[in-house]
A = this chain, B = another copy of it.
Amino acid sequence: MSKPPVPDPRRTLTLRDVSEASGVSEMTVSRVLRNRGDVSEATRERVLEAARSLGYVPNKIAGALASQRVNLVGVVIPSLSNMVFPEVLTGVSEVLEDTGLQPVVGVTNYSPDREESVLYEMLSWRPSGLILAGLEHTEAAQAMLAQAGIPIVEIMDIDGSPIDSAVGISHRRAGRKMAEAIIAAGYRRIAFLGTQMPNDHRARKRLEGFEEALARVGLSLADREFYSGGSALLKGREMTEAVLKRTPDVDFLYYSNDMIGAGGLLYCLDAGLDVPGKIGLAGFNGVELLDGLPRRLATMDACRLEIGRRAAEIIAGKRPEGLVGGEVIELFPTLQPGDTIRPT
């Protein structure tokens, strides 16, 4: 009634302020605020009331230092602008939600050096775990991660050797499967259209697997076209036009992602081409966007949500059974033939 509720508006509040306001020790306040240890109902109420009326917000920096526990999980991904990683994040958040752990994201823009510095920054906050996309990292980054002493989960890809655990799909196999489906459907003059980015290892591996499967039946790519930057949908149109002009007899277009594939599909439809009769198309990822297109693009989902979930479960220690880390979880994407590949 008589005490001014805010003694000094500029100084930021500490446990001591709450402790003084409620007449108990700082330790007891700390216990109340964390629901740790026995505190009588009466003091609990009093402390909570004091904390609330002061507007006290605990200082996790101090808490983390003292307890040597940080409730953060670093999530390091190449990009936020192509729908695939946000979905991974959704999976991660879902699982972490009720574990007291909180994801913190870092973006590398597909640059290994940037990844290295983002990792350094992350590790300097001593997170409880780290989830990062891909298996390819700078040497320094690998060393840091190995030394960190926390669970590390590399996601998206399992074609390589993980530092600790890994959750993902085999992109090489995904490329192979798609090639096999295309060949089985009778297409023979096949072109690849994809990202130029030298550091998109997963797209590269898909292409490798794809070509390998072609080679196995004596085929090779009829054409290939690369791009970088710009609107994916528009790029897809442009690239498709370029390929069709240069190699008019192609009968299949394999895109490295759904977005450019969708652009290509729109181009083909605009051009009045017979899809999938004369020409077939396929992408990769299984993005939701495709559902609204005039025709459903063939694709392969990358299990993004599931990857996020599994990775988070490993970090949260919710491992299936008695596993200690260092496990590799392979997921298997399913082919969605859509309407752009001839039925066999």
Contacts and interface: CB of A to CB of B under 8 A. Distances in A.
A105 interface: yes
A266 to B, nearest CB: 6
Interface residues of A, number: 53
Nearest to A54: B147
Interface in A107-153: 107, 120-121, 123-126, 143-144, 147-149
A289 interface: yes
Interface stretch (A41-49, A209-217, A228-236, A331-339): A228-236
Chief secondary structure at chain A's binding surface: helix
A231 B61 contact: no
Contacts of A148: 57
Given A81-B83, A93-B107, A234-B291, A123 B270 contact: no
A218 B117 CA distance: 59
A103 B295 CA distance: 40
A125 B233 contact: no
Interface stretch (A62-70, A154-162, A182-190, A243-251): A62-70
7 contacts: A12-B126, A57-B120, A57-B124, A58-B124, A60-B124, A234-B292, A262-B292
Interface of A: 9-10, 12, 55, 57-62, 64-65, 70, 80-81, 83, 86-87, 89-90, 93, 102, 104-105, 107, 120-121, 123-126, 143-144, 147-149, 231-237, 262-263, 266, 270, 288-289, 291-294
